[in-house]
Amino acid sequence: MHTEPVIEACDLVKQYKGITAVAGVDFQVCRGECFGLLGPNGAGKSSTVKMIYCFSPVTGGTIKVLGMDVREQPRQIKARLGVVAQENNLDPELTVMQNLLSYAGFYGIPPDAARQRAQELLNFFELADRAGQKVDTLSGGMKRKLTIARGLINNPDILILDEPTTGLDPQARHMVWQRLNNLRDRGVTLLLTTHYLDEAHQLCDRLVIMYGGKILEQGTPHELVAKHIGSEVVEVGRGSAEAGSIIGQVAQLIRGHLVVGDILYLYPVDGRELMRELGRLRLTRLSLRPGTLEDVFLKLTGKGLGEV
Amino acid sequence: MFRLVDIAPPLVWQVFRRNFTVYRRTWMVSMSFNFIEPLLYLAAMGIGLGGYVSSMEGMPYLNFLAPGLTVSSAMFAAAYECTYGSYVRMEYQKIYDAIIATPASAGDVVLGDMLWGSFKSLLYGSVILLVILVLGLVQSPWALLVPPVLWLAGLTFAAMSMAWIGLVPNIDSFNYYFSLIVTPLFLLSGIFFPLTGLAAPVLAIAWFSPLYHAVQVVRSLVNGNVSPALWGDVLWLAVATLVLVPLALRLMHKLLVK
Ligand SMILES: Nc1ncnc2c1ncn2[C@@H]1O[C@H](COP(=O)(O)OP(=O)(O)OP(=O)(O)O)[C@@H](O)[C@H]1O
Ligand SMILES: [Mg+2]
């Protein structure tokens, strides 16, 4: 099922007056999957998705969405996408319901059908009791849900979400994740950007890691962790000064290592065995934990996602 | 192929409709405020100054003044709408961005907003027309043709204002727009006094004022002294609109599409 590509980006480049935001990326999104662009601030995630939803002209390379070229058929492409932009852009002068109906007009949905669809979406996002209220009266999480609902008004083939949960409290984030998982189960293709690893883990079937306008890696979260890290990581606090000697003594027990700041990260073949060995070396401040995308990112860039 | 901008009329209409939906909630308040200013001018200038000026171009001063105020009311409506109004929608409320993510293009949004501005001109100017009708200052059934002229002039002003946003996209710049362009037009377009006595250079400048031409036409219609020469003024407005609308679309496209 996950084979037919609905988005194909080929050597995609975006420049703004001298700034290169996207420096030649290639990826494909398949029908029915949740595809993630994971990267820190300024990585070029928004620039990439804006080109996909025909908001921002392509500087170089090509993108095909649902088989159509973004340069040739922007209106036809946009008719079949749903977009949730990074900045909240609900219409503050309209009510919750009017926001959905006004948007429906731009997709040429007849008023009766629009009203019915809007009501379904409000039910799905648990906003039905707010239908008549102005948007300013909603909480941050409700606004985000309404923005997603609005993006679904035209029953899109693909829903594009630019940082769907940035700025939300943990509870609201979980609410949004749940709904997005739900949508994916119903067969909506999702393309999302995020700089949260847990979000990428929770939602994405496949993802690319973007950094400085380029794609560093792509695959499933599991594949990426397995390929670069293995299943476990041992952190040696204040281990950087003696890194050379520690590594020398446990060389057979690790698949790789990384020094960032004063922490030494070891990628063990067998975590417990390595812990025992490190214990014998009288090292304290040891911790053994599962490998994550954060470790992958750290290894690829030498920086944590939060510190770029 | 030479394509100026990409426009889809049904989506332009949707932009207009969105603004109309918002306006429906507040029209009473906004309209009544819009009343006050022209009426103050009518009272202060018409009655106050009119006491000293027995006649202007062969008519009582109030009859000279009133038609011009319908046009200036129309001008201010579009000028405010397509500077502050449009800019707030674009920059602070991000409504343009939201709409451009639907099948609508940047051109659809900007044209829809300009048509909305021209509609407000039509509305606000016509309301003043009704007021002066009630006050007995409308002399001729030719006045029935005033609303279309208000609309055309409104579109000219909407496009001019939108082009200003495209050139100086900054909310503080609108002060300059009003004090350097709109207010001088208001004072020097033959609303308060005829321009015939002025020096040639001033007259030449006035000829470039859309307001001047609109005032000429509307005053003649309201007072019933129509002549074929008015077609010249209408043509002037039509040409100005045909130049300014694409210009505004072009400038705004540059601003919106990055
Ligand atoms: N309209 C613009 N004009 C000029 N430069 C821009 C514009 N938009 C983005 N950039 C630049 O392009 C680069 C990539 O920005 P982009 O918004 O795509 O990153 P991002 O990955 O979405 O980051 P964030 O997580 O902060 O949203 C940045 O250096 C940014 O400053
Ligand atoms: Mg972004």
A201-237: pLDDT as tens digits: 889 999 999 999 999 999 999 999 988 888 889 988 8
Q: What is the pLDDT of residues A271-302, one digit of tens each?
A: 888 888 888 888 878 889 898 888 888 888 87
User: Does residue A216 form part of some domain?
Assistant: yes
Tell me: do A74 and A194 sit in the same domain: yes
Any A CB within 8 A of B101 CB: yes
* Residues framing ligand 1 (Cβ under 6 A): A 16, 19, 21, 39, 41-47, 86, 195; B 258
| Residue range(s) defining the domain that contains residue A265 | 230-291
Q: Taking CB atoms and an 8 Å cut-off, how many pairs form between chains A and B?
A: 62
Residue among A13, A14, A16 whose CB has most ligand 1 atoms within 8 A, to mutate? A16
Ligand 1 mean position to A87 CA, how many Å? 13
Within a domain: A301: no
| Whether the predicted pLDDT of A24 surpasses 80 | yes
Domain count, chain B: 1
Count how many domains chain A has. 2
Same-domain pairing of A257 and A141: no
Same domain for A150 and A254?
no
Rounded to 10 degrees, the C-alpha dihedral A19/A21/A26/A29 comes to -150
Tell me, yes or no, whether A115 lies in a domain.
yes
Instruction: Pick the residue of B6, B96, B102 with the most A CBs within 10 A to test the interface with A by mutation.
Output: B102
Of A56, A85, A92, the CB nearest to B93: A92
The predicted model scores a pTM of: 0.91
Instruction: Report the atom number in ligand 1 closest to the C-alpha of A50.
Output: 18
| ipTM of the complex as predicted | 0.89
Do A180 and A42 lie in one domain? The reply is: yes
- Does residue A238 share a domain with residue A200? no
Assess contact for A266 and A250: CB atoms under 8 A.
yes
Question: CA B12, CA B112: separation in Å to the nearest integer?
Answer: 5
- Does residue A191 lie within any of the structural domains? yes
Q: Do residue B103 and residue A78 have CB atoms under 8 angstroms apart?
A: yes
Domain extent for B184: 4-256
- Closest C-alpha to ligand 1, atom 11: A21
Could you say which of A56, A78, A89 has the minimum Cβ distance to residue B258?
Answer: A56
- Write down how long chain A is: 308
Residues A214 and A266 both lie in one domain: no
Structural domain ending residue among the three candidates A174, A192, A220? A220
**pLDDT tens, B76-113?**
999 999 999 999 999 999 999 999 999 999 999 999 99
Query: CATH no. for residue A32?
Result: 3.40.50.300
At B2, is the pLDDT very low, low, confident or very high (cuts 50, 70, 90)?
A: very low
Q: Are residues A170 and A263 in the same domain?
A: no
Q: What one-character DSSP code corresponds to residue B181?
A: I
Q: Is residue A308 part of a domain?
A: no
For atom 22 of ligand 1, the residue with the nearest CA is A46
The C-alpha atoms of residue B55 and residue B210 are separated, in whole angstroms, by 25
H helix and E strand count, chain A: 11, 14
